[in-house]
Structure formats: C-alpha cells, structure tokens
C-alpha cells in the first residue's frame, strides 16, 4: 500500500471523533483515488483499467469507509 494511502488511514483513525461525516467521506475518496493513481503508475494499467477504476470510485470509497468503521 502506498505511503500516502496509509497516512490517510492513520489520519482517518486518529481523528475519527473530530471529523464529521463529510470529512470522513472526503478522506475515503482521497484514499481510493490514491490507490487508483498508484495502480496507474505501476505501468500495468491500461486506459480501460483506469476508466473502469474511476467508474468504481464511489464503490471503492464506500468499501474503505465501511472497513474503517469501528
């Protein structure tokens, strides 16, 4: 996992009580975008893969948010 994404998760968890739902959602979307970006940088991703991942952004963010709920 890229360092940028793990730092998002640490921030999300550390500030759980301080952040509102909108801010938590923003962090989840940011983490999902960073994961998509990391895959695209890996060189193995095609334009179709990038397009597919961007279409799944909402679902990825939903899954990240759900995984971080305590």
Query: Tens digits of per-residue pLDDT, 19-48?
Result: 778 888 888 898 899 888 888 887 666 778
Query: Is residue 49 pLDDT above 60, yes or no?
Result: yes
56 pLDDT band, cuts 50/70/90, is very high
- Ordered by start, the domain boundaries in the chain are 3-68
Q: Which of 38, 31, 34 is nearest to 67 (CA)?
A: 31
Q: Would you state the pLDDT for residue 21?
A: 81
d(CA 57, CA 33) in angstroms, rounded, equals: 7
d(CA 68, CA 43) in angstroms, rounded, equals: 29
């Amino acid at each position: 996992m890229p360092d940028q994404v793990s730092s998002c998760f640490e921030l999300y968890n550390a500030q759980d009580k301080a952040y509102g739902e909108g801010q938590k959602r923003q962090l989840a979307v940011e983490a999902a975008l960073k994961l998509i970006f990391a895959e695209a940088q890996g060189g193995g991703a095609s334009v179709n893969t990038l397009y597919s991942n961007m279409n799944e952004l909402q679902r990825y963010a939903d899954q990240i948010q759900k995984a971080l709920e305590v």
